[in-house]
């Protein structure tokens, strides 16, 4: 607070202000000063799905298990877990040290109440659809939770490794305070939240995960990312999240700053609407896939920040993109396919959201120029995010430039769009028996090697049928002062790595 007056040397008064605040400052000085451009939109870990909300809640709550930086499932509230032979029960042993920030222990009753809340339709939890195979939950003792499943469901473990399946106190559920109090068992406690302005977090002394080398985190919401860069440059922010690749690429030019980039699981895609002619024609869709130059889109619209990708983005399952259908631009083939389809060019409208992602309109423009080569004239409709979401959910578009969230497992990532009873089939407008059956097989198979084989087939077939044109992954960026050390980025974007950070001088 006294920084400004001290630096500008406003004379005696400033000196007095400095001396008087110096007595208070030491505690605040050991806070990590963080900045992001988009603030959390709410505190209910089961109901919130916005990227920024998840990033905040991951610091406050814990799920049963979490994913490490290589997307392996590792303990959180649970110490260990086991599927039964028939795949119909999943048993967790809880960490005896797991404690909520008010000092009460995390028990199996809290876990049971949390999942029941998640499954209750009145909660409005979007992640509920990942847990529909849960038939009942048993709590044989305080430290054991048994999930009884209606069918084998291998991806459910990974689905539990998100903050959307956080363990919240049973008593907070009872008194209806989950959305307002943010009482969790995670590394930090939320002391103050002024939405769209700031958050103050302090270390949770009761956290079972170990010691943290500083006292808390002060988050400032700086809506303009160039201002975030300026704040880092001036040494007034220690750590920041960046969304805009254009801003991120400026960070390495600064001698005192470090950029952390990790390819995320989300993917940039041109969604076609196969229910509308001429996109209902497989050959037309394939022609479009052959006509675009994915590397060029990446280099131009995303300033080279990211990787060309097929439908699967998680390293454990992703195929080499060069093995997928027409991933090398081939205009001759594209034109031939258009001719076979008997379509001599057409006009279509493509919807895109302004600023979400920041590269959306640039992508649409590059696609527009590339598809013009085979006589397809794209009319770009840029719109505000909520308007876009409305149109997107209604499947009301010819084509849509989208950045869709990825999951560490292929099944929860695509079952919503491409299984016959997926919740978002009216967005994809696409059904294919083999794709449906491959997803079901992948869901039931617990053997990793066999799953990889199944999902490789799935990915190749999906790319060949081209209901959508998968383009690239984007990087997830954080930037920090070089004095900050020990942060580990994760493809999920979580900031849990902040628990290992030390603040230098």
Give the nearest distance from C-beta 141 to another protein in angstroms: 33
Q: Among residues 278 and 406, whose Cβ is nearest to another protein?
A: 406
Q: How many CB atoms lie within 10 A of CB 136?
A: 11
Tell me the C-alpha distance between 125 and 42, whole Å.
13
For 71, 287, 289, 332, 463, the CA distances from 370, given in Å and listed in that order, are 35, 12, 11, 13, 19
Say if strands 198-203 and 376-383 run parallel, antiparallel, or are unpaired. Answer: unpaired
- φ and ψ at residue 90, rounded to 5 degrees: -130, 120
Read out DSSP for 256-286? TEEEEEEEEEEEEEEEE-TTSTTTTSHHHHH
Give the nearest distance from C-beta 6 to another protein in angstroms: 10
Give the nearest distance from C-beta 53 to another protein in angstroms: 8
Q: Which helix (H) or strand (E) holds 477?
A: strand 468-481
Residues near another protein (CB under 8 A) are 1-5, 7-8, 10, 13-14, 17, 35, 41-42, 47-50, 121-129, 179-180, 194-198, 219-224, 226-227, 230-231, 233-236, 384-387, 389-393, 402, 404-405, 416, 423-424, 427
Give the nearest distance from C-beta 51 to another protein in angstroms: 9
Q: Among residues 78 and 251, whose Cβ is nearest to another protein?
A: 251
Cβ 40 vs Cβ 56: under 8 Å:
yes
Cβ 166 vs Cβ 43: under 8 Å:
no
Specify the DSSP class assigned to residue 321. Answer: G
Q: Among residues 38 and 99, whose Cβ is nearest to another protein?
A: 38
Tell me the C-alpha distance between 120 and 230, whole Å.
45
Q: Among residues 47 and 343, whose Cβ is nearest to another protein?
A: 47
Give the nearest distance from C-beta 253 to another protein in angstroms: 11
Q: Which residues contact 105 (CB under 8 A, 6 or more apart)?
A: 96, 98, 99, 142
Q: Among residues 35 and 106, whose Cβ is nearest to another protein?
A: 35
Q: Among residues 241 and 376, whose Cβ is nearest to another protein?
A: 241
Q: Among residues 129 and 446, whose Cβ is nearest to another protein?
A: 129
Q: Among residues 42 and 152, whose Cβ is nearest to another protein?
A: 42
In the structure encoding, which two tokens stand for residue 147, read together? Answer: 């999930």
Give the nearest distance from C-beta 4 to another protein in angstroms: 3
Give the nearest distance from C-beta 100 to another protein in angstroms: 21
Q: Which helix (H) or strand (E) holds 137?
A: strand 134-141
Give the nearest distance from C-beta 38 to another protein in angstroms: 10
Cβ 458 vs Cβ 438: under 8 Å:
yes
Give the nearest distance from C-beta 325 to another protein in angstroms: 26
Tell me the C-alpha distance between 71 and 407, whole Å.
10
Q: Among residues 47 and 134, whose Cβ is nearest to another protein?
A: 47
- φ and ψ at residue 141, rounded to 5 degrees: -150, 180
Cβ 69 vs Cβ 255: under 8 Å:
no
Give the nearest distance from C-beta 197 to another protein in angstroms: 4
Tell me the C-alpha distance between 290 and 296, whole Å.
13
Triad 40, 45, 51: Cα angle to 5°: 40
Q: Among residues 107 and 404, whose Cβ is nearest to another protein?
A: 404
């Amino acid at each position: 607070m006294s920084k400004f007056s001290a630096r500008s040397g406003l004379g005696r008064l400033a000196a007095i202000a400095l001396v008087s605040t110096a007595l208070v400052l030491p505690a605040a000085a050991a806070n990590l000063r963080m900045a992001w451009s988009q603030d959390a939109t709410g505190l209910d870990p089961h109901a919130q799905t916005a990227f920024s909300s998840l990033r905040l809640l991951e610091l406050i709550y814990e799920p049963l298990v979490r994913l490490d930086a290589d997307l392996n499932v590792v303990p959180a509230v649970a110490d260990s877990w086991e599927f039964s032979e028939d795949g119909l029960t999943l048993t967790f042993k809880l960490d005896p040290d797991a404690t909520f920030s008010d000092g009460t222990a995390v028990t199996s009753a809290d876990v049971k109440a949390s999942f029941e809340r998640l499954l209750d339709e009145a909660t409005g939890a979007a992640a509920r659809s990942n847990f529909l195979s849960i038939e009942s939950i048993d709590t044989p003792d305080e430290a054991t939770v048994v999930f009884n499943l209606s069918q084998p469901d291998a991806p459910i473990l990974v689905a539990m490794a998100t903050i959307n399946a956080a363990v919240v106190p049973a008593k907070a559920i009872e008194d209806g305070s989950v959305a307002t109090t943010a009482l969790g068992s995670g590394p930090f406690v939320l002391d103050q939240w002024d939405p769209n302005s700031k958050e103050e977090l302090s270390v949770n002394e009761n956290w079972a995960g170990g010691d943290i080398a500083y006292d808390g985190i002060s988050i400032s919401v700086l809506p303009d990312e160039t201002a975030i860069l300026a704040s880092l440059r001036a040494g007034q922010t220690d750590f920041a999240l960046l969304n805009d690749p254009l801003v991120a690429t400026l960070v390495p030019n600064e001698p005192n700053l470090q950029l952390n980039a990790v390819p995320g699981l989300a993917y940039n895609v041109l969604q076609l609407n196969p229910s509308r002619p001429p996109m209902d024609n497989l050959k037309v869709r394939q022609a479009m896939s052959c006509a675009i130059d994915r590397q060029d889109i990446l280099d131009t619209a995303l300033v080279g920040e990211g990787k060309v990708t097929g439908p699967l983005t998680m390293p454990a399952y992703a195929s080499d993109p060069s093995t997928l259908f027409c991933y090398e631009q081939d205009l001759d083939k594209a034109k031939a396919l258009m001719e076979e389809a008997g379509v001599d060019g057409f006009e279509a409208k493509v919807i895109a959201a302004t600023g979400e992602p920041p590269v959306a309109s640039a992508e649409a423009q590059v696609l527009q120029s590339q598809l013009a080569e085979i006589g397809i004239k794209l009319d770009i409709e840029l719109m505000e995010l909520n308007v876009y979401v409305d149109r997107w959910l209604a499947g009301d578009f010819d084509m849509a430039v989208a950045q869709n969230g990825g999951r560490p497992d292929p099944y929860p990532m695509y079952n919503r769009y491409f299984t016959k009873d997926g919740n978002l089939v009216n967005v994809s407008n696409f059904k294919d028996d083999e794709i449906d059956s491959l997803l079901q097989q992948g869901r039931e198979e617990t053997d990793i090697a066999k799953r990889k084989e199944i999902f490789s087939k799935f990915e190749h077939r999906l790319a060949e049928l081209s209901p959508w044109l998968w383009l690239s992954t984007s990087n997830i960026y954080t930037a920090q002062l070089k004095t900050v050390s020990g942060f580990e980025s994760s493809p999920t974007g979580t900031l849990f790595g902040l628990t290992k950070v030390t603040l230098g001088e």
